Structure 1
Amino acid sequence: MFTIYEHEPLHLFKNYEKASIDFPNTKIYLDKVLSAFTEFGLETTYKESLSLIQKRAFQLATLGIKPREKVMVYKSSAVDSYWLACAISYLGAIPVMTSAHLPATVIDTFFDRLEDAWLIYDDETKDKLHLLNEKNKEKALSVKKIQEQIETKTPLITLNPNEISYMTHTSGTTGIPKLIAHSANSMGWRTAFQKSIFSKMEEKDLLAFHISPVHSRFNIGMSSLMNLGFPYLAIKDPSIKNIETLLQQFKPIGIETHPNNFVQWATLAKKRPELFENTRYYHSTFDAINKETMATFLKTNRKKNGIYLQIYGQSECGPAIVRKHTLESLPGINIRNMGVGFEHFTKARIATNDGTPLPTNTPGNIQLFSKGRALTYFKEDARFQENVYDEWWDTGDFGMMNDNGELLLHDRQVDLVETLESTLAIEDYLLDHLAFLEEVVIIRDNHGYPQPIVAIADGEQFQDELWFKAIENLPHLNEPIIMEYKKIPRTATMKVQRRALEQLLFNK
C-alpha cells in the first residue's frame, strides 16, 4: 500500500531510538569489523547497536564534546561513521561528515571555516593528520581513544529543529568542497520523501547497500529504512570478489550503490546471474547510469519483475526527480529522461541564467524546488545564495523539460562541450554498445574539443573496429585516451572529477 508520509523533524539519535523500540530485534549485517564499533563483529540488532551508540556518546562527553560544537567524522568509509554521527547528535553537537578521500589541506580549510571543531579519525586517515596545521591536531580523537574512555552519563540534548544540526560537503568535483548545512526540519522533509518511496515496496526484507556514509543520501536512506523496520546489510568493501561472497550468503530484495559500482558489478551479474535472482529492487542516485547496466541487473531477477529506481537530485536539495525502469520500459526510453517530481515534495523547471522560466523543449539551466532544501553553505552563504531563485535552486546542470513534464538531463553547465548536445548521452551510448569498455568519460582538450577517456573491462582489449563503428554517426570525438579505471580521479561517491582529469591530462 502506497503511503505519503507526513513531515517530522529528523533528530538522528531520537530516530534511531524510536526504530530500536519499534523493531528491537531487526538484524544489521556487516561485511567487515568496523573501526569505531569493533564490539559488533559482523552482526547486531537495532536495539543492541543503539546501546553502544549511546555508550559512544557518553565516552565523547568524557572527552569534552559540548552542545553545538562541530565534530568532523573523518574516517574509513563505512556505516559506523553514521553511528558516530548519531552519538554526536545525542550530545547536541553537530556531526560534520567528511570524506576519507579529502587531503589534509582541505581538512585544514574545514577547520578554519568551522572554528575550533573536533575531528574523529581511524587508521585509514591517521597518516593525513601529520600534515595538518599544528593547532588542528590538538582536537583530533582516534576511534581507539574514544573506545578507551569511561562513560560520563549525560541527558539527550535536542537542538531547535530549524538550526544547523548536521553537515555534509559537496563532491569537490570543481575545487574545494563546500560544507552543506542541514537542519532537523530540512532532513525531515527528505525522510518523508524517502519513506513514501519505500512504502511502494511489497516486501519488508533485507536491503543491501554500499554508498558513501558522508553523503546526505546515506543519512536519509538509513534513517528512513530503520524507521520502517527493514533489516540491512551494510557493505564496506565493494570489490567484485567480496560482492560475490556476500551474495552467496545473503539474498537481499534490494540493492543500492553508486552508478559506477553498478557498472563494475555488472560483470558479476553477467557471469553469475543467479546471485542476483532474488533481488527485485535496484536504486542509485548521485549520477547518471547507462541503459545496458540497468538491463543487466534487471535480467537476473527470477520472476522478471525487477525495478530499477533512478532518482536525480543534489546534496543541497536531496532526492528530487524520480524514474522507474523495468525490462519492458527500458528499450523505448531515452535514458537522459530523469522523470518527474515526487508528489508535493519536489519539482523541476528550466530557466535562463537570470532565473527566467523557459518553455518546454527549450534547453537551459535545471532548477529544483525541494521542501528539503539545505540551509546554506557554512560560512559561504553568498555562494549558496548565488544559486537561489526564490523557492528554486539552480543545480548547475543543463537540460530541458519535455511536453510530458519530464526532465531531460544533458550535462553539468561547467562541462558543456560546444560541439555536443550532451556528453552524458554519448557516454551512455558507448557503454551500452561496447562491452569491452568499463568506463567512458568525455572531457575537453586544450582547444575545447571532446576528448574521450576510456577504461577497458577486465579480460578485454580495446577494439578499434568496434569503436569506430560505434562513433561513425556521432559528432567528432578525439582519439580515445586509455586509462586504468582506478587511476581516473573520483569523489567519495565515485563521481568522476572531470576538472581534475582535464588538469591531469592537459594541465588546464
Structure 2
Amino acid sequence: MSGKSRPSGLGSLFESHAERGRRTRFHLSRPFDIAPERGAEYTVQQLADLVAEASAWLYEAGARPGSRVAIAKDNHWDYLLLAAAAARVGALPVLVAGSLPPDTLQTVLKRADARVLVTTGEIVRSAAAAGVDVTAFAPRVVTIDGPADGATHVDEFRGARVPGTVRAAPYEPMVVTHTSGTTGVPKLVVHSADTIMGHLSRTESLPWPIVGMKHRDTVATAIAYNHMRMITWSAGTLRLEPKHALVLTDGEPATAERMFRRHRPNYLEALPATYVGWEPLTEKPHHVFTDVRVYVSTFDAMHPPTVRTFLRASQRRFPTWLQGWGQSETGPMTFRLLARRDLEAQGDRHPTIRDVGRPIPGFTGMKVVDPQTLRPVPDGTPGVVLSRTHGRCVGYLGEEDRWQLKAEGKWWNTGDWAVRSRTGAFRLLDREVDVIPGMSCIELEDVLADRLPRLTEAAVIGVPGELPLPVVCTRDGSWDQAAWQRATADLPRMADPRLLEWDEFPRTSTGKVRRMELRERLLGEASAYGTGRWT
C-alpha cells in the first residue's frame, strides 16, 4: 500500500466526506439518471444519502458480497454513485460505456459475468435491433429509464431497507473500469482500494502549488464518467473541497455556455474532443472561459492550436494547461505545465507539446526499453515505455493472460513509444502498434493542426509498403490543396490526404480516434508496422 494509513473504499467515499462536513456544492448539467426527480444540485450529504438508497435497491435486486454489478448507461456522474452503492454491499462494480457498439458491448458484458446489470431500456432495445440480447448476460437486469423486455424497472426495488456497509480488504478488487478501446475491444481494468484510493487518488488530493484545487475555486469537468479518471477526480474534489463543482454530461457548446454563465470555472477539465468542440465559444464577446486559471487534459494528445486558444481565452495573468500522461492501468505517469509562452511558436516542425514531462516524484518510475529484449536503451533512443507505480491495476477481468504479458515484475509495459532525454524528460511519439518507421504520427498531426487552422481532426495511419495516409477533417468540409502543400513541404512524404466528416471518424467513449478501425476501413487491412503485443 502506498499511503501511511489504510485507504477508505469506494463504498464509504461519500459517507466519509459527508461526516467530515465537506461543503462543496455539486451542480449537474442535468439530473441524475437514477434520480431524475431530485433536480441538479447536491450537497455531499445528499450524495451520500443517494448512494445508501441505491445500495438498498441493488441489494434487493440481488447484489451480494463477492458478486459483480455491471453498469452500462448514458454518460453521467451517477456511474460513480452506482459504483459506490455496489461496493457498499460488498459487490464489485464493473463500469461499461453505454455508447459501446452492440457487438463490443456483448463481449465486455460476457467478460463482466455480473449477477446484476444496471442499464437502460434504450440500450436494451438498440442492442436487440442489432441482434444482441444484453439481458442474457446477467440473471437480473435492471433498467433505470423505463421498462424493457427481459428487464425489471428500478422502481420495483426502491424503498428497500438500507443494508449495512461491507468493509473489504484494501488489496481486494474494488472497481472495474475499461480502457478507451482505441485498438479493439476495451480491456476491463481491475483496481483495488490500495491502488486507487491509497495511491492514484493521492495525486489529486494533495494541495500542489499552482495546479491544486483551492477552497474558493469553481471546478468543472466534462469527461467520460465510466472511466477510472472519474474516480480520482471525484476523490480529489471531495478531499480538497472547492466551493462549487460543475458536472457536465456532454460536450455540447450550449451545455458549457449554460453551466459556465452561472458559475465561471477556475479549474476546468474536459475530453480533448470536447475542447475542440468548445473552441468557437472562445470567439464570442464576454465568453465563459475568462476566469480559468488551470485547464486539465489527460485522456489523449492535445494539438497546439487548441491549447493556445484556451490559454489566450483566459483573462488570468498566468493561466496554465496541465497535461497528464497516463493509462487506466497505471494512473498518471507524468505531468507537465504549459503556459502561454510555451505555445508562442506556431507551426514548429517539432512542437513542444509532445514533451510530456518527467515521472511524478514519489509516485512513478519510468524507463524506455528495446521492444525485443526489454533492456533499457540509451537516452535519446526511441523504445517502449515501462512504468513502475504502486497504483498499477491488479488484473484484467476475463483476460488474466493478457495482464501477465504486460506485467514485467514490478514494471508495467505501457505499449507507448517514446524517447527519454538526458535530463529525464519524456517525449511521447506514438503507441507501439501505430508506429511508422522514421516518424512520429502524433507529432505530424500536431504540426498539421498548427499549420492548417481549419483542421479539426488529423490522424496519420499507415501499413507496410504504402505511404502514410493522413486522414483529416475541416471545420466547413472544404479543402485547400495549395495550403496543404505549403504546410507539408518539410514533412516526410505522405499520400494524398483523405477528407472525412467529423462523425465519420470511429471514436471511443472518450473521443479518441480508433486508429486500428480507421486503418482497416481505409487501407483494407489490419496489418501495421508495430507488433501490437502490448495493446
Aligned to 1:263: 276
Aligned to 1:225: 237
Aligned to 2:214: 203
CA contact (8 A) 2:124 2:134 kept: no
Aligned to 2:260: 247
Aligned to 2:228: 216
State the one-letter code of the partner of 1:478.
Answer: A
Aligned to 1:388: 407
Measured after TM superposition, the shift of residue 129 of structure 1 is 5.0
CA contact (8 A) 2:75 2:250 kept: no
> 1:184-333 maps to which residues of 2 (within 5 A)?
184-187=193-196, 188-196=198-206, 200-201=211-212, 203-204=214-215, 205-230=217-242, 231-272=244-285, 274-331=287-344
Q: CA deviation digits over 1:343-401, x for unaligned, max 9?
A: 21012210012321112111111111111000011232211111122221111111110
Alpha-carbon distance in structure 2 between the residues aligned to 1:49 and 1:476: 55
> 1:294-443 maps to which residues of 2 (within 5 A)?
294-331=307-344, 334-353=352-371, 354-418=373-437, 420-443=438-461
State the one-letter code of the partner of 2:143.
Answer: S
Aligned to 2:91: 93
CA contact (8 A) 2:113 2:138 kept: no
Alpha-carbon distance in structure 2 between the residues aligned to 1:7 and 1:484: 51
State the one-letter code of the partner of 1:291.
Answer: P
Measured after TM superposition, the shift of residue 138 of structure 1 is 4.2
State the one-letter code of the partner of 2:454.
Answer: F
Alpha-carbon distance in structure 2 between the residues aligned to 1:303 and 1:112: 49
Distance 1:499 1:407, change over 3 A: same
Q: CA deviation digits over 1:430-458, x for unaligned, max 9?
A: 1112111111111125744211111111x
CA contact (8 A) 1:198 1:225 kept: no
Report the 3-state secondary structure (helix = DSSP H, G, I; strand = E; otherwise coil) of the residue aligned with 2:279. helix
Distance 1:11 1:233, change over 3 A: same
Report the 3-state secondary structure (helix = DSSP H, G, I; strand = E; otherwise coil) of the residue aligned with 1:490. coil
Stretch of structure 1 that moved more, 107-116 or 470-479:
107-116
Aligned to 2:149: none
User: Which structure 2 segments of 5+ residues have no match?
Assistant: 146-152, 346-350, 526-535
Measured after TM superposition, the shift of residue 5 of structure 1 is 7.7
Alpha-carbon distance in structure 2 between the residues aligned to 1:401 and 1:470: 28
Measured after TM superposition, the shift of residue 148 of structure 1 is 4.2
CA contact (8 A) 2:508 2:514 kept: yes
Aligned to 1:58: 56
CA contact (8 A) 1:436 1:462 kept: no
CA contact (8 A) 1:113 1:378 kept: yes
Stretch of structure 1 that moved more, 285-294 or 113-122:
113-122
State the one-letter code of the partner of 2:13.
Answer: N
Distance 1:300 1:273, change over 3 A: farther
Distance 1:305 1:13, change over 3 A: same
User: Which structure 1 segments of 5+ residues have no match?
Assistant: none
Stretch of structure 1 that moved more, 288-297 or 128-137:
128-137
Stretch of structure 1 that moved more, 355-364 or 168-177:
168-177
State the one-letter code of the partner of 2:230.
Answer: F
Alpha-carbon distance in structure 2 between the residues aligned to 1:330 and 1:197: 27
CA contact (8 A) 1:313 1:320 kept: yes
Could you state the TM-score of these two structures normalised by the residue count of structure 1? 0.94
Could you state the TM-score of these two structures normalised by the residue count of structure 2? 0.89
Aligned to 2:529: none
State the one-letter code of the partner of 1:97.
Answer: L
Report the 3-state secondary structure (helix = DSSP H, G, I; strand = E; otherwise coil) of the residue aligned with 2:74. coil
Among 506, 514, 519, the residue aligned to 1:497: 514
Report the 3-state secondary structure (helix = DSSP H, G, I; strand = E; otherwise coil) of the residue aligned with 1:274. coil
CA contact (8 A) 1:5 1:195 kept: no
Report the 3-state secondary structure (helix = DSSP H, G, I; strand = E; otherwise coil) of the residue aligned with 1:185. coil
Aligned to 2:533: none
Alpha-carbon distance in structure 2 between the residues aligned to 1:377 and 1:34: 29
Alpha-carbon distance in structure 2 between the residues aligned to 1:224 and 1:197: 10
Matched, 1:74 2:72: yes
Distance 1:461 1:351, change over 3 A: same
State the one-letter code of the partner of 2:167.
Answer: T
Aligned to 2:490: 473
Alpha-carbon distance in structure 2 between the residues aligned to 1:202 and 1:72: 32
Alpha-carbon distance in structure 1 between the residues aligned to 2:5 and 2:310: 34
Aligned to 1:42: 40
Stretch of structure 1 that moved more, 181-190 or 134-143:
134-143
Give the aligned CA root-mean-square deviation in angstroms.
Answer: 2.1
Q: CA deviation digits over 1:33-88, x for unaligned, max 9?
A: 23112133121111112112111111111112101211111000111111111111
State the one-letter code of the partner of 1:185.
Answer: D
CA contact (8 A) 1:340 1:347 kept: no
Report the 3-state secondary structure (helix = DSSP H, G, I; strand = E; otherwise coil) of the residue aligned with 2:375. coil
Alpha-carbon distance in structure 1 between the residues aligned to 2:72 and 2:135: 17
Aligned to 2:28: 30
Aligned to 1:135: 136
Alpha-carbon distance in structure 1 between the residues aligned to 2:120 and 2:444: 41
Measured after TM superposition, the shift of residue 24 of structure 1 is 4.5
Stretch of structure 1 that moved more, 406-415 or 12-21:
12-21
Matched, 1:455 2:456: no
CA contact (8 A) 1:253 1:281 kept: yes
Counting matched residue pairs gives 503
State the one-letter code of the partner of 2:116.
Answer: W
Distance 1:23 1:328, change over 3 A: farther
Matched, 1:154 2:193: no
